[in-house]
Structure 1
């Protein structure tokens, strides 16, 4: 009986102290042809993102190269499907040099739009203040 009780308690403790399921993995591939309207640039970029539903924390590592000049701003925009524009949802700080790492805590609505593929990332430059490269965030 003691062994059964101990096994039950151990299993209960393991479940209680187990961390949340692994973060949702997302990715974006940025290029100039995805901007709306499209721009001429040889710039490219990638973003690897993790979203933890338990804490609502979005973390990212964004790399880019080949821009027409220094990056002046970067943002997550949404909600919008590919080919559509939307306002800034989450700013990306310290965008001036690649790679860029950061995180933000999302609202429930932001998280739903992110996971539904309705967020995109774009990076702005002086030559392309509306955005030089853009990529839709996808699972």
Structure 2
């Protein structure tokens, strides 16, 4: 009889633990995001002509790092670039979205007051993003695009993906 009661108690305990685990695993995804902390890193974002849609032929390159603060909904960024030709000019820099790496999208946030020479670097912070923009960014659907006089639709592009790219 003692053995049977012990087996029943263990079965109830295991069932309770199993159901608790299932309930925790199915909890709201936003709570899972909270476990990540308020800052999300985008590091080693490579800027290249190969990333353009369609790809362009250029020896230009660049890199970007960024941090998204979920509490302020602002993206702080730092990037540098060199265009493929020393006689070329930078005519525009924008954050675009929503788009996967194989797609193009409209400008979401223009980067103002950037150098117009063939090389440069920029550090800044965006305005506060909307809920929809935040979801797009965190889903990897934003990219940085550097436009040149040779490639007005974009010479260098890098997709913003969480962590290292």
Same fold (TM over 0.5): yes
**Residues 103-127 of structure 1 deviation map (CA, whole Å, 9 limit, x = unaligned):** 1121111111001100011100011
Stretches (4+) displaced over 6 A: none
Taking structure 2 as the reference length, what is the TM-score of the superposition?
0.68
Cα deviation code 1:48-77 (max 9, x no counterpart): 101000011111001111433121101111
The equivalent of 1:129 in structure 2 is: 152
* Superposed counterparts of 1:36-75, under 5 Å: 36-68=53-85, 69-75=88-94
- Whole-angstrom CA distance in 2 between matches of 1:67 and 1:42: 5
- Following superposition, the deviation at residue 22 of structure 1 comes to 5.1
- Is it true that 1:82 corresponds to 2:101 in the alignment? yes
Aligned residues: 119
Residue 98 of structure 1 corresponds to 120
> How far apart are the structure 1 equivalents of 2:60 and 2:38?
32
Distance 1:66 1:79 in 2: 25
The structure having more radius of gyration, on CA atoms, is: 2
List alignment gaps of at least 5 residues for structure 2: 1-36
Q: CA deviation at 1:79?
A: 0.3
